[in-house]
Amino acid sequence: MAESIQTQDRKLRTEEMVIQMGPQHPSTHGVLRLEVTVEGEIVTHVKPYIGYLHRCFEKHAEQMGNYSQVIPYVDRMDYVAAMSMEWSYVLGMERMLGIQVPERVEYIRVIMAELQRIASHTIAIGTFGLDLGAFTPFLFLLRDREMILEIFERTCGARLLYNYFWIGGLSHDVPLDFVDSTRQFCTQFKKTIVEVNNLLSYNEIFIKRTANVGILPANVAINYAASGPVLRGSGVDWDLRRDDHYSIYNRFDWQPQIGKGERGTLGDCWDRYIVRCREMEQSVKIIEQAIEQLPDGDVQSAIPKRIRPNASEIYIRTEAPRGELGFYIVSDGSGSPYRVKGRSSSFVNLSVLPEITRGYMIADLVAILGSIDIVLGEIDR
């Protein structure tokens, strides 16, 4: 559809108009501002402006008294997936210190991270539907997200920013009803996925709106260092959970999901969307297996009271719901980090936006932005 618009008679050109989309626009998913140049309804240029939510995370991390105090700040990066944020930082510190965490911790971390991935993806695809005008799937998904948040709340007392993964283990063991309530969630959520697929994924209007829109070819995605569902939506089989061998993901039976261009072109909005949908199914699968195998034991390994890594540096990356989350941690041998650099997936993924929105309509711009699924807390840090 976009090509036919682009190749229209040049005489039909109207005056270009610059619109400020955001920071208070309903579909910019936070305080993002897009400077959109439009010709009638056609977008000719998009320029994202970020920084409205900058909270000096990296500087704060340097100023903390010790390494553990950074964790609550890490939570606040991607506040929709705080567990996954913590895991990356904590894993980096454990590698730096050479700590082996107990088996039980690994299992609980996998379960928590996958629950968090589902919670994050429910927001992602729910708001994506909302961007396209479908309100009901959003509320169905939020209802199930509530079950996850309740599990988290019973575990660590917080609903959004957990401070649950600690260096060398976890802050608490899971509550007694954890296994039951997680199983109950899995049963319920499988039904919801079917419901959402019927209502949204295979809806004719939805497919018309998302297929062949915002096509991100695999080579462009790789050149821009996109990661997570955005990269996999373009058909690149790259999932750090499998390819980076961290934690115990190799013990479970699951498959990274990639886009196949089923309804349109490979790498369109529908592919990115369906990758998230299918990833949720895979996450349920992982959780069910992990909950079966959950061993007994301690949730905290012996770590020194005052964490002082030797002067060294490490880059650690994990597969957060939005893609590769990396931390570059430099230690100078003192009690607090010398430098913590966050490599946020949303920031990198957002950079492809001007590339893939050119020539589409304003309505498509909203859809493309929704399919990239950004969290401004992670972009601005």
Partner 1 sequence: MDKFLTDILGSEIFAYIIIAILPLLFIVPYALFAVWLERKLSAFMQDRLGPMYTGGWHGWAQTVADIIKLIQKEDIVPSAANKKLHLIAPFLVFVGSYAAFAAIPFSSEYIGSHLNLGVFFIIAVSSLVVVGLLMAGWAANNKWSLLGAMRAAAQIVSYEIPIALALLAVIMIAQTLNLQEINQMQSGWFWNWFIFAKFPFVFLAFLIYFVASLAEVNRTPFDIPEAESELVAGYHTEYTGMKFAMFFLAEYANMFAVSAIAAAVFLGGWNSPFGDFMSGPIWGVFWFVTKGMFFIVVQMWLRWTLPRTRVDQLMYISWKVLTPWAFVCIFAIGLWMVLQ
**Applying CB under 8 A, which residues contact partner 1?**
1, 5, 17, 19, 25-27, 40-41, 129-136, 139-140, 143, 199-200, 203, 205-206, 208-209, 361-364, 366
Nearer Cβ to partner 1 (5/99): 5
Give the angle 222-263-30 at the CA atoms, nearest 5°.
60
By DSSP bridging, strand 42-49 and strand 16-21 are unpaired
Are residues 301 and 64 in contact, defined by beta-carbon separation less than 8 angstroms?
A: no
**Minimum distance between the CB of residue 23 and partner 1, rounded to whole angstroms?**
12
Nearer Cβ to partner 1 (120/127): 127
**Minimum distance between the CB of residue 202 and partner 1, rounded to whole angstroms?**
12
Nearer Cβ to partner 1 (133/157): 133
**Minimum distance between the CB of residue 121 and partner 1, rounded to whole angstroms?**
18
**Minimum distance between the CB of residue 251 and partner 1, rounded to whole angstroms?**
36
In 54-203, where does DSSP find H-type helix? Answer: 57-63, 71-75, 82-97, 103-131, 136-156, 178-196
Closest CA to 377 of 131, 146, 51: 51
Nearer Cβ to partner 1 (134/287): 134
CA–CA dist 353, 344 (Å, integer): 16
Nearer Cβ to partner 1 (37/171): 37
Nearer Cβ to partner 1 (49/135): 135
Alpha-carbon 137 to chain mean position: 19
Q: CA dist 375 to 4, 30, 106, 168, 335, Å?
A: 33, 7, 27, 28, 31
Nearer Cβ to partner 1 (131/378): 131
- Residue environment code for 70-91, b if the CB has 16+ CB neighbours within 10 A, otherwise e: bbbbbbbbbbbbbbbbbbbbbb
Nearer Cβ to partner 1 (136/171): 136
Tokens of 252: 């479970």
Secondary structure (DSSP) of 170-191: ESSPPPTTHHHHHHHHHHHHHH
Q: Which residue, chain included where needed, has tokens 């019973």? A: 154
**Minimum distance between the CB of residue 243 and partner 1, rounded to whole angstroms?**
35
Are residues 52 and 376 in contact, defined by beta-carbon separation less than 8 angstroms?
A: yes
By DSSP bridging, strand 33-39 and strand 165-166 are unpaired
**Minimum distance between the CB of residue 195 and partner 1, rounded to whole angstroms?**
10
Nearer Cβ to partner 1 (17/56): 17
Tell me how crowded residue 53 is: count the other CB atoms within 10 A of its CB.
18
Q: CA dist 266 to 155, 312, 361, 370, Å?
A: 41, 42, 20, 17
Nearer Cβ to partner 1 (207/325): 207
DSSP 8-state symbol, 102: P
**Minimum distance between the CB of residue 228 and partner 1, rounded to whole angstroms?**
23
**Minimum distance between the CB of residue 211 and partner 1, rounded to whole angstroms?**
12
**Minimum distance between the CB of residue 333 and partner 1, rounded to whole angstroms?**
51
**Minimum distance between the CB of residue 79 and partner 1, rounded to whole angstroms?**
21
